[in-house]
Structure 1
Amino acid sequence: MVGICGACKNNVLVTQKRIKCSTPTCAVWYHHECVNYDDTISFSRATWICPSCSVSKPKQDNSNTPIQNKTRRQQSPDNTPLPLPQLGVGNSDQSIIIQEIRNLRREMKEHFDNQQASLDKFDFKLSEVQKEVRVLGGKFSTLREDVDELTKSVQFLSDAHDTQKGSIENTATTISHLSIENQGLQSQMNELNSKLDLLEQQARDCNIELQYIPENKNENILNIVQQMAAVVSCDLPVGSILNYHRVAKIDTHSQRPRSIVLKLSSPRVRDELLAAVKRYNKKHPQEKLNTSHIGIAGEKKSIYVLEHLSLKNKKLQE
């Protein structure tokens, strides 16, 4: 507000068209419409004199200079315009001013309607955006639940993996210990097998094996052995023969007769018999020890007199 209008006595706002009297003793503000001031006319505002000051000047016509004391109200674009005061302005000028005011009001109303329509569109779009945001919020909530479930599943799998990893590490440690222990046991077993083979062979130190002597149900193995010893010129008393028997075949389908095993009284007696057989075969290369020498009729078949070796030593000999 800049002052009080000298005509309508209402406030003169900074947003309203206004003019001030140039008389130093007056300096009163007026609304343009209250004094019918036309700012389109080339007239200096600095020398403008209000109607009151113009009336007080001598030698001038005062019949057309009364100032109306009327009540002025704020107008909106929808209010009916107040009748303009007649202050020496022609009807044509007044009509032009009224028309311009109406045009201004129409433009302002159109501008207001456009703004209102834009606001309505904005409200509609905002409502749509809010709906989409709510839908997205629901989807995000569902997605968040899925992510939480996935996180729980991943955590469960991670824990299970850690547990399985720990179990595998423990199992690997146990396997490593068992492997070391197994190697130790394997070494001990090999050592025991070696000792067992040695003991087994030592247990046969007094034995002799006779191979390829035909089998007979009524055979007398003791007579066969004594007759063979006589052929090779070996003194073999009956008391030096502790045991004798035929052993089972390794291959049950073989047609080869079962071998005879003699258990003699000492390794010395065994060695003497083996040496005697060896000497005999050497002296008689064309007539080596065979079945005819021990009184077995039929086709002559060589008789082999060998050490009674363990199964492992036999395989090594082969």
Structure 2
Amino acid sequence: MGVLDLEAKIDLLEQQARQCNVEISNIPERRNENLIDLLECLGKQIGYSIRKEDVVSIHRVPHAAQNNKPKNIVAKFTTRIQRDNTGCKEHQQLGISGTSHKVFVNEHLTLRNKQLFRKAREAASSEGYKFVWTKHSTILVRETENSAVLAIRTIEDIGKIKANTKSAKTNSSM
């Protein structure tokens, strides 16, 4: 087994350890904030009751790169079903005083998967794709509502986006 194989295996194990986690970004930090209360507020916003008993842990995490954005919040639920029901998507402000801003709730991806997700979004955007999302830690892309879903698991898979766009253009010009 080579170094790349070991790195991939470690990343897979790290991702499995995060399977019950969500990562919430763009919530301003407050002194003496109660993250459980924020999570309950999120649940009300999305129409899903989040109880304190459903949460194993919740904390802020530093960003990988230095920036001025608030630290993200990672919440670990007791089951993946509870995690999935929090609706990994974009939400409006969660009853926090101050200016309105978007709050994002996503699966808690490993650094490798976050980087791959970012590259997939960039490639999809440049090729005119409408949808890029994750499900069970797999990055998925779809050009339109009716097109096939492509799974992006490695950096090489990003080539599928461009290849798929080229083949669609070739087929439509016939």
Quickly name the TM-score band, shorter chain normalised. Answer: 0.5 to 0.7
Say yes or no: does 1:260 pair with 2:73: yes
The corresponding residue for 1:313 is 113
- Larger Rg, first or second structure (1 or 2): 1
In the alignment of these two chains, the number of paired residues is 118
The corresponding residue for 1:251 is 65
Kindly provide the CA deviation profile for residues 225-256 of structure 1, in whole angstroms up to 9, marking residues without a partner as x.
Answer: 0011011111222111010000012222x111
Which 4+ residue blocks in structure 1 deviate beyond 2 angstroms? none
Identity %: 34
Mapped to 1, the partners of 2:42 and 2:48 lie a distance apart of 9
1:22-171 alignment to 2 at 5 Å?
A: none
Q: 2:11 aligns with which of 181, 197, 205?
A: 197
The corresponding residue for 1:176 is none
Kindly provide the CA deviation profile for residues 57-110 of structure 1, in whole angstroms up to 9, marking residues without a partner as x.
Answer: xxxxxxxxxxxxxxxxxxxxxxxxxxxxxxxxxxxxxxxxxxxxxxxxxxxxxx
The corresponding residue for 2:20 is 206
Matched to 1:290, the amino acid is Q
Q: Which structure has greater helix proportion?
A: 1
Report how far residue 270 of structure 1 moved: 0.5
Say yes or no: does 1:290 pair with 2:107: no
Q: 1:215 aligns with which of 24, 29, 47?
A: 29
Matched to 1:295, the amino acid is G
Task: State the SS of the aligned residue for 2:23.
Answer: strand
Matched to 2:52, the amino acid is V
Mapped to 1, the partners of 2:63 and 2:8 lie a distance apart of 24
Matched to 2:30, the amino acid is N
Mapped to 1, the partners of 2:96 and 2:85 lie a distance apart of 24
TM-score by length of 2: 0.64
Mapped to 1, the partners of 2:20 and 2:12 lie a distance apart of 14
Q: Quick one: higher RCO (CA 8 Å, sep 6+), 1 or 2?
A: 2
Q: Which structure has greater strand proportion?
A: 2
Task: State the SS of the aligned residue for 1:263.
Answer: strand
Kindly provide the CA deviation profile for residues 155-181 of structure 1, in whole angstroms up to 9, marking residues without a partner as x.
Answer: xxxxxxxxxxxxxxxxxxxxxxxxxxx
The corresponding residue for 1:231 is 45
TM-score by length of 1: 0.36
Mapped to 1, the partners of 2:98 and 2:75 lie a distance apart of 25
Q: CA RMSD in A?
A: 1.4
Matched to 1:204, the amino acid is R
Mapped to 1, the partners of 2:2 and 2:81 lie a distance apart of 33
The corresponding residue for 1:38 is none
Show structure 2 runs of 5+ residues with no match. 119-174
Mapped to 1, the partners of 2:92 and 2:31 lie a distance apart of 20
Mapped to 2, the partners of 1:220 and 1:235 lie a distance apart of 17
Mapped to 1, the partners of 2:30 and 2:55 lie a distance apart of 21
